A and B are shown apart, each in its own frame.
Chain A
């Protein structure tokens, strides 16, 4: 196993002084699900948004350190952020279908990337919807507005929209927080399928989900990385007292 992403001494603070990261260093494995968990305000989402430079849209007061993806520092100002975001896709907590049909949602990113051939686009639609375990539910109504789907279906379409771009890394920020258990199960099953091809980084919406899905798990508390290791070990015999307390539900 190789580290797809290496984070070195990353520190970050928003200009309003809220959620920040403090000297975080970690390596993230390829073809595995890495879970970032911990109480709210710990810096998990901030870290995710650093990985595809979505933080560029927010006011950031200070950042230092490096994030290497395939050996290249993506925090370098010269980085092609458009190419980076195609390579590092993101699924958000609330499903946000763009105001267009299901098919148009899926091919939106591809068209922007310059893909015009209908055969390629159709292929991408089918492949990504299948990988997201939603193909059978929507294949007969691809031209319906995506907003007409249920929340769980919307979220899987949003996942498919990311997969269609054939990224290398997929970031998921509490992707099941608004979903019922059945939809959640489907999304989690899709993740297991996805990690065969992609590097998956997940902020789970519960500690149980963290334990279910994690190959590797990182515990964050108030902007600092407290403990990081294999999921199996970390959730059964945590090394740090704080990790144990959080897993046992003593705080949070």
Chain B
């Protein structure tokens, strides 16, 4: 009797945990289905390749798509080299001293700052003080600062996961530290670093607040021609057409959301593929 009771309790607990795990899937699947259902009908070649007209109530969203691409690439240009360099320093060179602890503390806190605060900071530093104006450059720099903690911590993690024995052996064969990092450690850590980079950029691509004051334009009749031009961007465009434009056709709103979602999910899938492929090929 007692034994059977324990069995039942175990099974109940098991079911509860499984259900909770299933619940985590519901929001993401629900969102995708909902957006697909509501916005799918808006997707057409004109929608993807045309400019908005009639006060954005018709036409396409090309400038917003291109703008988000520019911002993502711009963010990558600044945050990837800086982030990887910082990770290499922390994982391979830094000893545990005050400076290192200060850097780590800064990174942790950087990750915790609300994105709108980054936006204000970017406005103050890049737009006004450095006189970049409301531009792709200022917005990319602002997004870079926000992305850095993600890139640094995932890159550091993947560098650290490369076995210590590789370093010892390489050094014992007459390699310098830097040769060891360049020829072995970075190569082995690369998939993990790439995953972190993509996840960081994905977040940057979807953010609205940091670009709100630094680079996003309400409406532009042409594509930006230089890094010093402002640009339209998908998340901001979505915000604008959902709140600022009266009598906005609903399927254009959901169509825009769908494009943004596909953009971000594609990056996510690429990251997942890189990770699983590397795991299969790994020699340790």
Residues of A within 8 A of B (CB): 52, 54, 57, 82-83, 85-86, 89-90, 92, 94, 96-99, 108-109, 112-113, 145, 147, 158, 161-162, 165
Given known pairs A82-B176, A98-B166, A147-B283, the reply for A57 and B171 (CB within 8 Å) is yes
> Tally of A-B residue pairs with Cβ under 8 A?
63
- Determine how close the nearest CB of chain A comes to the CB of B179; give it in whole angstroms: 6
B residues contacting A by CB (< 8 A) are 163, 165-176, 179, 183-184, 187-188, 282-284
Q: List 12 A-B contacts (CB under 8 A).
A: A54-B172, A85-B172, A85-B173, A98-B170, A98-B184, A99-B184, A99-B187, A99-B284, A109-B173, A112-B179, A112-B183, A147-B283
Beyond the given pairs A92-B172, A113-B174, 8 more chain A to chain B contacts, judged by CB atoms under 8 angstroms and listed by A's residue number, are A85-B173, A89-B173, A92-B165, A96-B163, A99-B188, A108-B175, A112-B179, A165-B173
Q: How far is B174's CA from A162's CA once the two chains are assembled, in angstroms?
A: 10
Contacts of A165 in B (CB 8 A): 173-174
A-side contacts of B166, CB under 8 Å: 96, 98-99
Closest 4 CB pairs of A and B: A109-B173, A99-B283, A86-B174, A96-B165
Residues in chain A near residue B165, CB distance under 8 A: 92, 94, 96
A171 to chain B, nearest CB (A): 9
Assess the A90–B172 pair: CB atoms within 8 A. Answer: yes
* CB proximity of A140 to chain B, nearest CB, Å: 20
Which chain A residue has the least Cβ–Cβ distance from B282?
A99
- In the bound complex, do residue B174 and residue A112 qualify as a contact, i.e. CB atoms below 8 Å apart? yes
Chain A residues within 8 Å of B283, by CB:
97, 99, 145, 147
Across the interface, which residues of B come within 8 angstroms of A86, CB to CB?
Answer: 173-174
The CA-CA distance from A90 to B168 in the complex, in Å, is: 10
Which residues of B lie under 8 Å from residue A98 when comparing CB positions? 166, 169-170, 184
Contact of A85 among B167, B171, B187, B188 (CB under 8 A): B171
Check if B174 sits within 8 Å of A92, measured CB to CB. Answer: no
CA distance A89 to B175 in the complex (A): 12
Cα-based distance from A29 to B175 in the complex (angstroms): 27
Complex contacts, A99 vs chain B, CB 8 Å: 166, 184, 187-188, 282-284
How near does chain B come to A229, taking the closest CB pair, in angstroms?
29
Q: A82 — nearest CB in chain B belongs to which residue?
A: B174
B88 to chain A, nearest CB (A): 17
Residue with the highest number of chain A CB atoms closer than 10 Å, among B166, B174, B188 = B174
B94 to nearest A CB, angstroms? 14
Shortest CB distance A101–B (Å) = 10
A82 to B173, CA, bound (A): 8
* Cβ distance B180 to chain A, nearest Cβ, rounded Å: 9
Residues of A within 8 A of B173 (CB): 85-86, 89, 108-109, 112, 161-162, 165
B174 close to A54 (CB less than 8 A)? no
Chain B contacts for A85, CB-based, 8 A? 171-174
Q: How far is the CB of A80 from chain B (nearest CB, A)?
A: 10
CB pair A96–B169 under 8 Å, yes or no, is yes
| Min distance, Cβ B79 to any Cβ of chain A, angstroms | 28
Q: In angstroms, how far is the closest chain B Cβ from the Cβ of A36?
A: 18
Measured CA separation A162–B172 after assembly (Å) = 9
B168 near A92 with CB under 8 A, answer: yes
Look across to chain A and name the residue whose beta carbon is closest to the beta carbon of B167: A57
Contacts of A90 in B (CB 8 A): 172
Cβ-closest chain B residue relative to A59: B95
* Chain A hits for B169, CB < 8 A: 92, 96, 98, 158
Q: Which B residues touch A82, using CB under 8 A?
A: 174-176
C-alpha gap A4/B169 in the complex (Å) = 24
Give every chain B residue within 8 A of A108 (Cβ-Cβ).
170, 173, 175, 183
